[in-house]
Structure 1
Amino acid sequence: MATSSKNPSDTSIRITRAGKINNYVAYALESLEKNDSNPIVLHTLPKPPDNQTATDVQPTKNDQDASNTAITLLTTPKLISVVEIIKREYLQDLEKKRSTRLVGLHQYNEIGSLEDPQGNVGYRARETDEERAQRIAMVLEGKNFPKQQQSPYMRITLSTHELPELLKKGATYQKPLTRTLSKTAKKRAKLNQKKAAQQDEATENAGLETS
């Protein structure tokens, strides 16, 4: 059963054949730079119909991908490549900024398929009880036997913090990459952490004095 991200704070990126890897990576890193508390969701789900609101970010234009199984399977290797590059570039950015953060991005993988009894692979509204009963009645009568067709997809969520709710939904987890620091860099990181803690304490004390 396919479920899309309902959290409006998540950045959702749909990977397509026409999209450029550099664009996907740049957009994801830019989103993390603006607010690293928001997860990045990359997926190969089909494009929603025109009459539905798409929350997906599409960095490239003129996307002519058809929503079918073959194309979805073709985009999965690209999705994995994009994710690996994002994780590597994220660590390099931490190094450039001399960040005190030593771990990279947590990764959650989901694999599933979208089912459409009418043979139209894509986003389909949940079937009502009445529609289901009518469909079953038609099958029993031997009329218009619905053709089952599935569209496999893969969805990967990258986050700076752990998301245990995704594990409960069946996602697999990959630990974040770890930065390796020299002795000098480790010492500098500890000093930066100490300064940051002192600044936070000073700000908190100032707030208490003015209240």
Structure 2
Amino acid sequence: MIINIGRNIKQLQTGTIENASCPNCNNKNGLNFSIYGGFVNIVIIPAAPIKRTIIVECDHCKKTWKLKELPIDIKDNFKKQYKKNPVKTPLWQYTGSIILMSVLSFGIYTGIQAKKAEKNYIKSPLTGDIYLVNNDGHYTTLKVKSVSKDSVGIYLNDMEVDNSTGINDINIDKNYNKTQNFTKQDLKDLYDKNIIYQIDRN
């Protein structure tokens, strides 16, 4: 998948720096400034504002500078003047960041809720529960066959993979041919040790 990241930059404000002389030609009150800004967009969604650039040009000799390159007195004059009429950043330029934070927050919340649910699942197994297992980098699944008061009958998966992303490919009925009985405490111990690292319940 290709993600299209772009920059949208435009002139936000112009003016003349008051009480300032050109460092190049000494012409007074002829330093014109332009403030450029914008935002980074992902596809067509504004993600975050871009740091603004301030360009100063002498209207007499036409020499240009970035504001940070000018003498301190000119920069101070500009800052005093700018405080009276600053360029505000519109909230919509943070749209992408807000969406991203919302998605992350939702993901964290659902993850926490899933872990809370799993703690109940491991204490009260149901027939059909699927346990995802990581045994020293060997990934496989267990399937609950039956549940009694203290014992849980488990189908063992004949297959294993070396990457968790492939575990769903082996979670098929034909791979569950052997069974083994576990106590509920055995299963809880495996979960507490993160050997059973996820529980899926339909």
Q: TM-score range by the shorter chain?
A: under 0.3
Normalised TM-score (structure 1): 0.19
Q: Name the structure with the higher helix share.
A: 1
In our comparison, the structure showing a higher alpha carbon Rg is: 2
Higher strand proportion? 2
